[in-house]
Amino acid sequence: MICSMILFCDTRRRQQQQQQDAAPSEPCDYEGELREHFAQFGHIRKCIIPFDKETGFHRGMGWIQFSSEEELQNALQQENHIIDGVKLHIQAQRPKILQGDQTSDEEKDF
Amino acid sequence: MAALLRSARWLLRAGAAPRLPLSLRLLAGGASRLHAAPFLPAARAGPVAGGLLSQARLYAIAVEKKNYLQEEPSSHRKNASQFDWALMRLDNSVRRTGRIPKTLLQKVFDNTCHSGSPGGNQALLLLRSCGSLLPELQLSERTEFAHRIWDKLQKLGTVYDVSHYNALLKVYLQNEYKFSPTDFLAKMEEANIQPNRVTYQRLIAAYCNVGDIEGASKILGFMKTKDLPITEAVFSALVTGHARAGDIENAENILTVMREAGIEPGPDTYLALLNAYAEKGDIDHVKQTLEKVKKSDLYLMDRDLLQIIFSFSKAGYSQYVPEILEKITYERRYIPDAMNLILLLVTEKLEDTAFQILLACPVSREDNLNDFGSFFLRHCVTMNTPAEKLQDYCKQLKESQMHTSPLQFTLHCALQANKTDLAKALMKALKEEGFPVRTHYFWPLLAGHQKEKNVQGIIEVLKAMNEVGVNPDQETYINYVFPSFDSVRSVRGVLQENGCLPENNVFSQAEFRSEAVTGNLSYVLSFLESNTLPFSFASLRGSLILGFRRSMDINLWSKITELLYKDGRYCQEPPGPTEAVGYFLYNLIDSMSDSEVQAKEERLRQYFHQLKEMNVKIPENIYRGIRNLLDSYHVPELIKDVNMLVDREKIDSRKTTQLTSSVLESTLEKLKAENQPIGDVLKQLILVLCSEENMQKALELKAKYESDMVVGGYAALINLCCRHDNAEDALNLKQEFDRLDPSAVLDTSKYVGLVKVLGKHGKLQDAINILKEMKEKDVLIKDATVLSFFHILNGAALRGETETVKQLHKAIMTLGLAKPSTALSSPLVTLYLEKDDLSAALEVTIDCYEKYKVLPRIHDVLCKLIEKGETDLIQKAMNFVSQEQGEMTMLYDLFFAFLQTGNYKEAKKIIETPGIRARSSRLQWFCDRCISSNQVETLEKLVELTQKLFECDRDQLYYSLLKLYNAYSIFLKAHKQNIVLNNETYGSLIKLLLEKDSFLQAMQVKDVAETHIKGFTLNDAANSLLIITQVRRDYLKEALKTLKTALDLEQTPSRIAVTRLIQACALKGDVESIQEIQKMVNGLEDSIGLSNMVFINNIALAQIKNNNIDVAIENIENMLTSGNETVKPQYFGLTYLFRKVIEEQLEPAVEKISIMAERLANQFAVYKPVTDLFLQLLDSGKVDDARALLQASTLKSLLELIPELIEKEEAYTSIMKSYVLDKDAASAKALYENLTARNIKLNDLFLKRYAVLLKNAGEPVPFTEPPESFEFYAKQLKESRGNPL
């Protein structure tokens, strides 16, 4: 971990990235640690911590995907998440919001 | 000396005031603190504003006024904004952190140089930043920096005046730079600059700093001859001068001399004296003097005390630091000053003292939120503080709860600074504290060596990993170790020699992966054959798939697959090779794109056939997955080839429910023998055979029982033959099918399959006949069908089948099966592009325009023409486009083609054609194209080249660019490097982040943007989005602020944003905010599209939320009854209010609103509220309340108003009840007839009531009266409502 990081949590599949041409990677030891930590809140579907190959540091953010909203809430409710001695900031990743001026019923019926 | 000073007396009395007014002192560049002030920037204006920079600001105003008359207004503006920008950045940095980082100053300097001719004020600002504001730099480095700036700006034509020389002098003083004051004066003279009072003062200070009283006296003499006033600053300098000359007694005497000269010693003088004592280590005198000052009405600030601390430590008396620290009062601006001193002390290698001060800083320790001290740790790392010391600091920081993870942070800094030994020591310390050391901690070190291909460095890090007990993982080898060598093969030997080849199989796995992903399949095969290590197949799968895709050697594909399938080492454990290899095939195809599969169709077929030969099998469920993939890739022809691999035995044992073909077959024969009808079984059997892809058998069966075939069986068979590319049989079957039932119609997809297979086999006329039939039988053409047409044509075009493409396309067009489109016509052009026959390709494109008004693939044609340098053809194409679609279109076509082919210079010329305007749809088209094909450079160029394009929506372009980048990480990168983006880019980025709902990130970007860009603004769309996000996060105050900002910028926020904000305020009961918004948007309602009712509804709701129900109701009633309505009653929709009140279960309000609605209806004949309320009650399931509302005698009026209301069961049942109560048989009869005429099914309760009413009135009942009691039917009705199902 070394320096702190924001971890985005959600329950949805992240959008598939474009053609993955890089070698598929084995989870590194500390991705494993993250999984282990968050497994106490529920089932982890996916855990992604992107590293910058150029610098060797991670990019200051990562994603973790739970299987249910409830598990996600469990994780969010815990105040501190300390991995390898460093506090992790976690934040829920919300679904994409409406694009443009879509009108829901709420706005229509005045 | 004394005499000289005494004679100054008259001067002071005669003219100048003893102390210049503050503002003048500031304008003069800070007359105070001349002496020995290696740190702490500024004059006593400090607490108010940003130290030195506040002086600069004042100075700047003066200078700019002067400039205004001299320079052209435009360049003045540019310079001024450039200056503001630089000032703001530097000022902000000092305010927050007490310093300017070197990188920031460098950045501002570079920017200033790029701006052309830097103005005098910019130069001043830069020079002044080179002193104590750079505590992280060695004193000598700071002065070098100042000289660099001085020389460079002079070269760029900056004209220096006396203020610049004075600023340079101050920097010298702050940096304790040794120089000759006389030489300095000579230099000024040479430049024809007259020294002023400040110059002399500073030169005196310069002499005094080295204890040269004689030199100082010489300058004083100059001052005297020029009648310049002697200020406190001069005396203070002399205190320092005497002390440094070793004459502390005379230093003390200066104070007496001052008083005699009529100047009362101020804080500056005392501070000079205090520093003098401190430099001697005389704590007693320091304490006495401090007491004395305390008793006087003078006041020393914390920063003065910090300076005394510095003097003590620098002179080697750090033991006295705690006593001074005790006296600190921790003023508001203490922290930045302390930070500055701490950094300076570290630079001076006095890190222990620095740490003492750090620990004493008053920071909150409980909340655990903010780590304090990171700046100290980072600087210690930079200054090579020994590891043991750092570890000790970390320990104490952690124990004192100032920092939660100091060791980790320090390690991070060490890694960033590439300090291997320190990093190693820190990792060991981490380990001792029980923290794991992660493999990736070593990556930054490796990354550094890898860039330089420094094998020795890599080996050292690997050894260090070994020492700390960390095993490199595959990533480590693949990303960092292997690329440092010329070839992967050589790595193993070198590592072995150096004793860092691990014993586990990670290295071999890494080797395998790195070879696999380059497509070196022969290595893969030999590795797998000779390998003795236990490998899980799952760990190999990803690499293998990439390897397969990079090599097209099908024999190797098959051999590897066979090995994995059969060899005992790989897939034998559960779930076994069938599952494992099946899943592998699925992943392989899934990882390929549709075009890739289309292109490799033949090779994949070979592969599957070879696997079949090798007796490799896959489970049926996985086969189905693959089938779906192939279908979606438009290559159903491959399905049958995969189907061959299905493990039949498994199916039989698993699926007992589905009848197998053999069972069906025997049933069929039995039935036939018994002479019973076999149509159904035959059809079922054919369907099963089709799903097993057993075409041969299915065809035989059909031949055998032809007379019993039904339409469904034929349809399945035709489709099967199409999949198997069997045009002959497909056509025969189709003819038989037609004979069986000429009117029967196939599914669209089966027709399309026929067209495809017939076309592919050159049976063009037959294919066209099928198309004709589709038209005749009016087969449904969906978007997907048109897409299939495209794929058929495109496939043929890629195979070079000119006639097929031409004729099928023509048929589709003439039959009108699809509208002419660029996509559908493009295969016509593809034919020739593939053959590199550019002239024909262009011909066809032009022909398409003449026939169908589309220009297919003009972009690709142009690109190829440009690549081949076919000037004549380009000319021809351009003439045509220009003539048909206008010059502008032509220019754009050409522009995009140049961009695409990398001819940026030409592209630039085109887009700079005078008169060209932005065409957003075309630009967007090209952006999307770049995004989908991942062309970062091309898109960047587009953004760059369109900078000056007239009416160009920059925002949109940046937005596209950001979409292509990983936007946030780009921002972080830029931010880290102190790169400032422009307003548009920040705006686009914020918008993008808001759309992804990354609010915090968006706000971070906004903060940064606001610090960097003065007057940073977001555009309409981004502000609207921001409001919506803030509302959703319940930051209503901020949302309101955003709205205000947007409106102040004369933007039009979106309706949805304003509405959401108003609604959120209403639910909070915040009437004032809503009214404020109403005022703000006053006059803009129409452009926003905001109805007045939004305010009426929400203000009422807010009032109700505040329990002011009566006020709310009164307001509404007034609006509707006062006669001067702003909104006409028929448009006075209160639905929103009603719904919210019901939803929020505000019962008293619901009740009062009901009463209001009734009253408005009964007394004022305003019916809209009551109907709205009625419908809302119904919608929310409050049937009884709705009914109650209706029964309240408003019925008849209501019915007149909205006749269709009668159709609602609740309504007519209630109305009948009221007629019964009124004994109004005539109305009841009318109602009954009305309802029956509308064919409405009436419930029993209604009928019972009506029947009783009629009977009582002595009239005949026109239907059988329901026999049970009222209660029975009432209950029945209630139950039926309770159970809507």
What confidence tens digit (pLDDT) does each residue in B880-891 have? 988 888 888 888
Structure tokens at B113: 């140089």
Tokens found for residue B365: 């320790």
3-state secondary structure chain A: CCCCEEEEEECCCCCCCCCCCCCCCCCCHHHHHHHHHHHCCCCEEEEECCECCCCCCECCEEEEEECCHHHHHHHHHCCCEEECCEEEEEEECCCCCCCCCCCCHHHHCC
Name the β-bridge partners of A82.
Answer: A87
- When pLDDT is averaged across residues B919-931 and rounded to a whole number, the result is 83
* pLDDT for residue B310: 94
Does residue A96 sit at the B interface (CB-CB below 8 Å)?
Answer: yes
Query: What single-letter DSSP state applies at residue B478?
Result: I
- The span from the CA of B504 to the CA of B74, in Å, is 70
Q: How many CB atoms lie within 10 A of CB B1007?
A: 11
Q: Which of residues 370-389 of B touch A (CB under 8 A)?
A: none
Number of Cα atoms under 13 Å in the Cβ half of residue B395: 11
* Residues of B with Cβ-Cβ distance to A107 under 8 angstroms: 1055-1056, 1059
- One-letter amino acid at B1282 equals G
Confidence at residue B305, expressed as pLDDT on a 0 to 100 scale: 93
> Positive or negative, the Cα torsion across B869, B873, B875, B877?
negative
Whole-Å CA distances, B104 to B52, B100, B978, B1084: 16, 7, 7, 44
Burial class (CB in 10 A: 0-12, 13-18, 19+), A37: middle
What is the SS3 assignment for B618?
A: strand
- Please tell me the predicted confidence (pLDDT) of residue B770: 92
CA distance B357 to chain A (A): 25
* Angle value at C-alpha B811, between B807 and B812, nearest 5 degrees: 120
Q: In chain A, what residues touch B416 (CB-CB under 8 Å)?
A: 57
- Across B51-55, B710-714, B808-812, B1223-1227, the highest mean pLDDT is recorded for B808-812
A6 interaction partners in chain B (CB closer than 8 Å): 1000
Of residues A107 and B888, more confidence is placed in B888
Confidence check: pLDDT of B751 > 70: yes
Per-residue HEC secondary structure of B637-656 comes to HHHHHHHCCECHHHHHHHCC
**Residue B447 and residue A110: Cβ atoms within 8 Å?**
no
Q: Does residue B678 have a pLDDT over 60?
A: yes
pLDDT, averaged across chain B? 82
The mean per-residue pLDDT over the stretch B1180-1200 comes to: 62
Tokens representing B379?
């600087």
- Using a CB-CB cut-off of 8 Å, the residues of chain A touching B972 are 59-60
| Least confident segment among A43-52, B151-160, B877-886, B958-967 | B958-967
Asked if B352 and B318 touch (Cβ cutoff 8 Å), the reply is: yes
Identify any residues that bridge with A83 across adjacent strands, giving them in sequence order: A86
- pLDDT at residue B463 tops 70: yes
Overall average pLDDT of the B308-318 stretch: 94
Q: Which residues of B6-16 are buried (b: 16+ CB within 10 A; e: fewer)?
A: eebeebbeeee
| Dihedral (CA of B1145, B1147, B1148, B1152) sign | positive
Tokens of residue B1067, six digits: 């639910």
Q: Which amino acid is at B203?
A: L
Among B146-160, B274-288, B354-368, which is the least confidently predicted range?
B354-368
Measured CA to CA, the distance from residue B461 to residue B472 in angstroms comes to 10
A23 at the B interface (CB within 8 A)?
A: yes
pLDDT at residue B21 in the model:
29
- Across A69-78, B118-127, B239-248, B680-689, which has the greatest mean pLDDT? B239-248
| Beta strands at A61-66 and A5-10: parallel, antiparallel or unpaired | parallel
With CA atoms as reference, report the closest residue to B958 among B931, B922, B979, B932: B931
Q: Å from B474 to nearest chain A CA?
A: 7
Mutate to test the interface with A, among B419, B475, B972, B1024 (most CBs of A within 10 A): B475
* Residue B774 predicted with pLDDT over 70: yes
pLDDT at B1198 over 80: no
Mutate to test the interface with A, among B377, B438, B1023 (most CBs of A within 10 A): B438
Q: Give the pLDDT confidence score for residue B96 in this predicted structure.
A: 81
User: Is pLDDT above 80 for A8?
Assistant: no
What letter does residue B573 receive in the DSSP assignment? Answer: S
B323 touches chain A (CB under 8 A): no
Q: Which of B217, B214, B220, B208 is nearest to B37 (CA)?
A: B208
Host H or E run for residue B995: helix B983-995
Nearest to B262 by CA among B604, B11, B478, B628: B11
User: Does the pLDDT value for residue B141 go beyond 90?
Assistant: yes
- CA B1102 to CA B1110: how far, in whole Å? 12
Closest CB from A4, A19, A56 relative to B447: A56
> What secondary structure does DSSP assign to B793-824, as a single string?
HHHHHHTT-HHHHHHHHHHHHHHTSS---HHH
Structure token pair of residue B43: 């004059």
pLDDT (average), residues A60-65: 81
Q: pLDDT tens digits for B1055-1103?
A: 889 999 999 999 888 899 999 999 988 888 888 888 888 898 999 999 9
Which of B407, B412, B1056 is nearest residue A107 as measured by Cβ atoms?
B1056
Tell me how far apart the alpha carbons of residues B444 and B418 are, in angstroms, rounded to a whole number: 7
Please report where in the chains the tokens 């005046």 appear, as a residue: B161
Whether the predicted pLDDT of A101 surpasses 50: no
For residue B207, the model assigns a pLDDT of 94
Strand partners of residue B618: B646
Q: Report percent pLDDT > 90 for chain B.
A: 26
Sorting pLDDT into bands at 50, 70 and 90, what band is B1180?
Answer: confident
Which A-chain residues 30-69 have CB contacts (< 8 A) with chain B?
A: 30, 33, 51-61
Instruction: Give me the pLDDT at residue B861, please.
Output: 92
Mean pLDDT of A9-25: 48
Tell me the angle at which helices B406-416 and B374-382 cross, rounded to the nearest 10 degrees: 40
What is the model's pLDDT at position A28? 65
Q: Which of B30-34, B251-255, B370-374, B1083-1087 has the highest mean pLDDT?
A: B251-255
Stretch B734-744: mean pLDDT, rounded?
Answer: 87
Confidence band of B640 (pLDDT split at 50, 70, 90)? confident
Residues of B in contact with A29 (CB under 8 A): 436, 438-440, 473
What pLDDT does residue B77 have?
A: 54
- Across the range B954-975, mean pLDDT stands at 68
Q: Could you please report the per-residue DSSP string of B213-274? A: HHHHHHHHHHHHHTTPPP-HHHHHHHHHHHHHTT-HHHHHHHHHHHHHTT----HHHHHHHH
Question: For B570-602, what is each residue's pLDDT tens digit?
Answer: 777 667 788 888 888 998 998 888 778 888 888
Q: Of B412, B543, B1133, which is closest to A2 when you measure between CB atoms?
A: B412
Using DSSP, state whether B289 is helix, strand or coil. helix
Q: Omega before B577 cis (within 30°)?
A: no
Q: What is the average per-residue pLDDT within B399-419?
A: 90
Q: Is the pLDDT of residue B415 over 80?
A: yes
User: Residue A65 pLDDT more than 70?
Assistant: yes
Q: Which chain B positions have a beta carbon within 8 Å of A3's beta carbon? A: 408-409, 412
Give residue B346's pLDDT.
Answer: 94
- % of chain B residues with pLDDT over 70: 87
Q: What are phi and psi of B240, to 5 degrees?
A: -60, -40
Residue B51 has pLDDT above 70, yes or no: no
Could you say which residues from 529 to 568 on chain B have a Cβ atom under 8 Å away from some Cβ of chain A? 539, 542-543, 545-546
Give the mean model confidence (pLDDT) for residues B693-711.
Answer: 85
3-state secondary structure of B102: helix
Residue at token pair 């926020």 = B1053
Most confident among B380-389, B662-671, B868-877 (mean pLDDT): B380-389
What pLDDT is attached to residue B1204? 64
Chain A positions touching B411 (Cβ under 8 A) are 2
